[in-house]
Amino acid sequence: MPEPLLTRYLGQPGREEIDAYLATGGYRALARALRERTPDEIVAMVEASGLRGRGGAGFPTGRKWKLTPKRDGETRYLVVNADEGEPGTFKDRTLIEGDPHQIIEGMVITAYANQVHQAYIYLRGEFFLGHRRLSRALAEAYARGYVGRNILGSGFDLEIVIHRGAGAYICGEETALLESLEGRRGFPRLKPPYYPAVRGLYDRPTVLNNAETMAHIPHIVALGPEAYKSYGPPILYSVSGHVTRPGVKELPIGTPLREIIFEHAGGPRAGRSVKAVFPGGSSSAILTAEHLDTPADFESLQKLGSMLGSSAIIVLDDTTCIPAVIRRTVEFYRDESCGKCTPCREGTVWLSQILDRILCGRGRREDLDLLDSIARNMTGTCFCPLGESVPPSLRASLRYFRDEYAHHIEAGACDVAGGPHR
């Protein structure tokens, strides 16, 4: 297995300081890009690398950059989404706290490739340590000439601003993020016409990428697309839940779930077994132990009706009450709904009420079909991906663990060791 790229130096004392970053080759890729490559060549390198966005949708990064109009004299923006709010996801926070210059260098190269001179980092408000370290790193980069005017004597200018969000999950959605960045409430915009690449921040063409995506860019430039791909290409999996060694695991994309969980995260506690897995955060459809040999990549998980999403693997062992997990998941989306569209605003409340009834011992047999019906009618009808995040895990749980719901309804209690109301 190749050595890590993005996380190679994480955990080293003082790694967030610019001198430590420079000592391991930091900002050399930027110097090379500015000195040896045209913007179009950088875009071509990123496209050839096969890098796909690490924010959830997995759209090819180079293709996204090509979609941004580059008309002479027209203002363009770069916005980095660091509002990491998907339950179970913590890879961006880990990079921001542990190696912030890697993200800043990626931003400057990205801005150069897309001919952008103003960039923003939309940072989750709860990331207090991350904000402190990222702010200090940005100040160091300005002081050393890696950000600002005439960067490294190249004639290229870039200003970067850190904007702290207020902890609203909806602002992880790209158009709601832009609304918030402009000073308004985080409501999603209608697409079309408001595709960020064409009509983004301040109604201008905007390159919008995830924080981890930025950290890949210096390595693509330094290694070249083919050498970069020999690393997997790499992806950061956030592994949490019932495992003995949770954390961020940098592995080649497509590593099987079984290997990630058992070899790299230590597997479940002694005497316990894996019961279910969220392979891409709480918005992904849960899978069972029968699916553990599935490669954790975009295509393989999509074939099973799930998704890689933010690559957050949440492991549930055999002490887990699945209906209770789904209820808590639905409650999260209910509370985070912006309320703009009816299917999300009302559907999450209805689902939550029915799940409460089932788990409190007052469920009815027809509740299971009612849950599925509401979830089906939410699918494809919500204004943005937040509402669409609710049905997958619920419907998958009804498919794989329907007997647990039925037991709650018939016995008025949970039959799982450690479950609620036993």
User: Do 62 and 307 form a contact (C-beta atoms < 8 A)?
Assistant: no
**Rounded mean pLDDT of 50-76?**
90
Q: Identify the pLDDT of residue 415.
A: 78
Asked whether residue 138 carries a pLDDT value surpassing 80, the answer given is yes
What is the fold of 18-229? Answer: Rossmann fold (3.40.50)
**Each residue's pLDDT tens digit, 146-194:** 999 999 999 999 999 999 999 899 999 999 999 999 999 999 999 989 9
Straight-line distance from the first to the last Cα atom of the chain, in angstroms, rounded to the nearest whole number = 45
User: How big is the CA angle at 299 (ends 283 and 387), to the nearest 5 degrees?
Assistant: 20
Asked whether residue 321 carries a pLDDT value surpassing 60, the answer given is yes
User: Do 26 and 18 form a contact (C-beta atoms < 8 A)?
Assistant: yes
Instruction: Please give the model's pTM, rounded to 2 decimal places.
Output: 0.94
The fraction of the chain above a pLDDT of 70, given in percent, is 98
Q: Identify the pLDDT of residue 412.
A: 87
**Each residue's pLDDT tens digit, 359-369:** 999 999 999 99
**Each residue's pLDDT tens digit, 371-389:** 999 999 999 999 999 999 9
- Tell me the C-alpha to C-alpha distance, in Å, between residue 340 and each of 191, 350, 392: 15, 16, 21
**Rounded mean pLDDT of 335-340?**
94
Nearest-10 Cα torsion for 280, 284, 289, 293 = -50
**Each residue's pLDDT tens digit, 75-127:** 999 999 999 999 999 999 999 999 999 999 999 999 999 999 999 999 999 99
**Each residue's pLDDT tens digit, 4-58:** 999 999 999 999 999 999 999 999 999 999 999 999 999 999 999 999 989 888 8
Per CATH, the architecture of 322-411 is what?
Up-down Bundle (1.20)
> Which of 220-229, 297-306, 342-351, 408-417 is the least confident region?
408-417
d(CA 180, CA 162): 13
For β-strands 312-317 and 287-288, DSSP reports them as: unpaired
Write out the CATH class of domain 238-317. alpha beta
When pLDDT is cut at 50, 70 and 90, the band that residue 71 belongs to is confident
- For the chain, the domains span 18-229, 238-317, 322-411
Tokens matching residue 184: 């308004």
What average pLDDT is seen over the chain?
95
When pLDDT is cut at 50, 70 and 90, the band that residue 221 belongs to is very high
Q: Identify the pLDDT of residue 419.
A: 53
When pLDDT is cut at 50, 70 and 90, the band that residue 422 belongs to is very low
